């Protein structure tokens, strides 16, 4: 499968998962706004996909939300199957990433040092 096609599938899967979050979460006491799907990497054979998830909150909240995502994996897969015309619906593997939090810390440090913001245009 061509890399461009895989890239488009990854982007579309991420979009569909984000939409599904608001369909699956209502009534469950889950704050969907605390969850962000950072990236999706689908295998070339379309059988599996790794979904990197960023969660706002402390460690206990993050663990609870990751557990909730994993327990509702089938519902997310069903949403993807209904919305995307793929030969196979990939099995989703939700993994927490702290990339967004690390980026926020770096930006905070740069702001404290007076190095944040945009560079002046000459």
For 63-99, what is each residue's pLDDT tens digit? 999 999 999 999 999 999 999 999 899 999 999 987 6
Q: Of the candidates 80, 18, 72, which has an alpha carbon nearest to the alpha carbon of residue 49?
A: 80
The verdict on residue 120 lying in a domain is no
The verdict on residue 117 lying in a domain is no
Give the start-end residues of each E strand in the chain: 35-42, 48-55, 91-96
The verdict on residue 15 lying in a domain is yes
Q: Provide the domain limits for residue 59.
A: 3-112
Number of structural domains found in the chain: 1
> For the domain that residue 23 is a member of, what is the CATH number?
3.30.300.20
Element (H, E) at 30: none
Alpha carbon distance 83, 7 (integer Å): 17
The verdict on residue 122 lying in a domain is no
- For 94: left if phi > 0, alpha if psi spans -120 to 50, otherwise beta; the answer is beta
The verdict on residue 118 lying in a domain is no
Least confident of 9-13, 18-22, 89-93: 18-22
- Taking a C-beta distance cutoff of 8 angstroms, is the pair 14, 35 a contact? no
């Amino acid at each position: 499968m061509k890399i461009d096609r895989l890239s488009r599938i990854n982007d579309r899967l991420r979009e569909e998962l984000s939409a599904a979050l608001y369909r699956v979460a209502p009534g469950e006491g889950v704050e969907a706004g605390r969850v962000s799907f950072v990236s999706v990497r689908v295998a070339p054979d379309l059988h599996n996909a790794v979904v990197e998830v960023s969660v706002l909150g402390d460690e206990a909240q993050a663990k609870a939300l990751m557990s909730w995502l994993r327990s509702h994996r089938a519902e997310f897969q069903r949403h993807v199957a209904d919305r995307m015309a793929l030969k196979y619906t990939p099995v989703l593997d939700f993994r927490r990433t702290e990339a967004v939090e690390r980026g926020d810390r770096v930006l905070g440090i740069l702001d404290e040092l007076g190095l944040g913001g945009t560079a002046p245009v000459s």
